[in-house]
Amino acid sequence: MAYSKYTPIPNLPKLNLPKVVVVGAGFAGLQLARSLKNSGFQIILLDKNNFHQFQPLFYQVATAGLEPSAISFPLRKIFHNTRNVSFRMAEVQEVDSNSRRLYTDIGFVEYDFLVLAMGADTNYFGAKNIEYYASPMKTVSEALYIRNKIISNYERAINLEREEDRKTLMNVVIVGGGPTGVELAGAMAELRNNVFPKDYPELSFKNMKVTLVEAGSSLLSAMSLKAQDHARKYLEKLGVEVFLKTRVLDYDGKVVRLEGRDSIQTETLLWAAGIKPNRISGFSDNQYAGNGRMLVDEYNELIGTKGIFVLGDQCLVSSGTLPKGHPQVAQVAIQQARNLSKNLIRIQKGKEMQPFKYKDLGSMATVGRKLAVVDLPFLKFQGLFAWMTWLFVHLMAILGVKNKLFIFLDWSWNYLSFDPSLRLLIKPKYVRSSERKDLIEEKTED
């Protein structure tokens, strides 16, 4: 069926309720829709995927620790028997704030309130070669691609005679010293130290480098100095080379060129160095900050446009006290969504909105087995207890009892055996158009 963005989205329920259109089913969008279910609003949730992705555990999919379905949850299942919430899988294209219409690839929808919670994508800072050759990790699909790429490289390396030729396939370079980069580097080092030598006894893993590159002066820059120091020590204990104050100059798919350091041969450059907010048409330049985030007031309402709210990574409060905005983490998005749900209800009751106030619940990162760092507002700790805290917090944050159970069983098995069992190289089969036509004709004849 061919869709036109200039026709209404078909089959949407006609409810005599104010219409709230939510774009994006990440932490913010999903929390808002759940907070407003069975309320006095009609909620239309739009996302380009039909599932919610738990981003903090992408790295475990990439390193064969978890299966993709364990950290993904069907959106329609969440809203079973919820009359006022509708989901449509669509890509948003443009907003017309004058007519209060949102245009998508499956049609347009009119709104009373529009909430943009589209999150952010990978930022390559204008480096075209890196964008082309490096592997990002912002979706489950990208994490699965990394898993396939790493396993495929070792399957290729084992068939090469010269040790020098294997290095490019075996080395892994990770760029970005935030939680994603640190956790990915630690997980890769543990695979090298404990798992791959059993899978590929013919290869020498002493020659495999796992390198973490950070342009800043420290890892986990948003955390305490104690957490930063322990994270670096833990990584070095696992055998990760940590390069601070080092920029990646270029990458051609084979060699990573570094500023002030020797180049590294690798076919696996994992990019976790930055994010940029997703954008759609329909807004003026003065509604954006220099970093691409949309300017909002203390109620998360877009500056200069009534009825449009922006949440999470996509927004920046235009306040002198927060020149760089709130941290781009899940807790900010979730708390903003909860506050907005209350404010929308207050608007309907003719009451004044309440400004958003972020409550910092702390931050944490895991480096490896029994190695983690936790910063709470009232306590900072590291090591085994921090690792157990990290496991508990992330397990409780996962949607669905089934997913929680699967992850708990996977983690338990990996801890006891040190041998994750998901090292499967699964590639989608590409069928040429001519072959597809033959298959259809054969089926028709049958």
Q: What does the pLDDT average to over 202-206?
A: 87
Residue 443 has pLDDT above 90, yes or no: no
Greater confidence (149 vs 3) lies with 149
Residue 433 has pLDDT above 70, yes or no: no
One-letter amino acid of 98: N
**Looking at residue 437, what is its pLDDT?**
46
Instruction: Indicate the pLDDT class of residue 403, thresholds 50, 70 and 90.
Output: confident
Q: What does the pLDDT average to over 9-22?
A: 95
pLDDT tens digits, 208-242: 999 999 999 999 999 999 999 999 999 999 999 99
User: Would strands 42-47 and 19-23 be described as parallel, antiparallel, or unpaired?
Assistant: parallel
Q: What does the pLDDT average to over 400-425?
A: 75
Instruction: Indicate the pLDDT class of residue 409, thresholds 50, 70 and 90.
Output: confident
Give the number of residues written for the chain. 446
Residue 430 has pLDDT above 70, yes or no: no
Q: What does the pLDDT average to over 340-363?
A: 95
Residue 445 has pLDDT above 60, yes or no: no
Domains and CATH numbers, the chain: 19-120+277-348 (3.50.50.60), 128-273 (3.50.50.100)
pLDDT tens digits, 251-307: 999 999 999 999 999 999 999 998 999 999 999 999 999 889 999 999 999 999 999
Q: What does the pLDDT average to over 368-395?
A: 94
Mean pLDDT rounded to a whole number for the chain: 90
Residue 434 has pLDDT above 50, yes or no: no
Instruction: Indicate the pLDDT class of residue 94, thresholds 50, 70 and 90.
Output: very high
Residue 424 has pLDDT above 80, yes or no: no
Residue 442 has pLDDT above 60, yes or no: no
d(CA 161, CA 94): 54
pLDDT tens digits, 151-170: 999 999 999 988 888 989 99
Residue 171 has pLDDT above 60, yes or no: yes
Strand order in 172-175's β-sheet?
Answer: 241-243, 210-213, 172-175, 269-271
pLDDT tens digits, 60-83: 999 988 888 889 999 999 999 899
Q: What does the pLDDT average to over 340-369?
A: 94
List Cβ neighbours of 308 (8 Å cut-off, separation of 6 or more). 95, 97, 113, 114, 115, 116, 301, 302
Residue 422 has pLDDT above 90, yes or no: no
Residue 343 has pLDDT above 70, yes or no: yes
Residue 273: both structure tokens together: 């160095």
User: What is the percent of the chain where pLDDT is above 90?
Assistant: 77
Residue 440 has pLDDT above 50, yes or no: no
Residue 326 has pLDDT above 90, yes or no: no
User: Would strands 113-116 and 308-310 be described as parallel, antiparallel, or unpaired?
Assistant: parallel
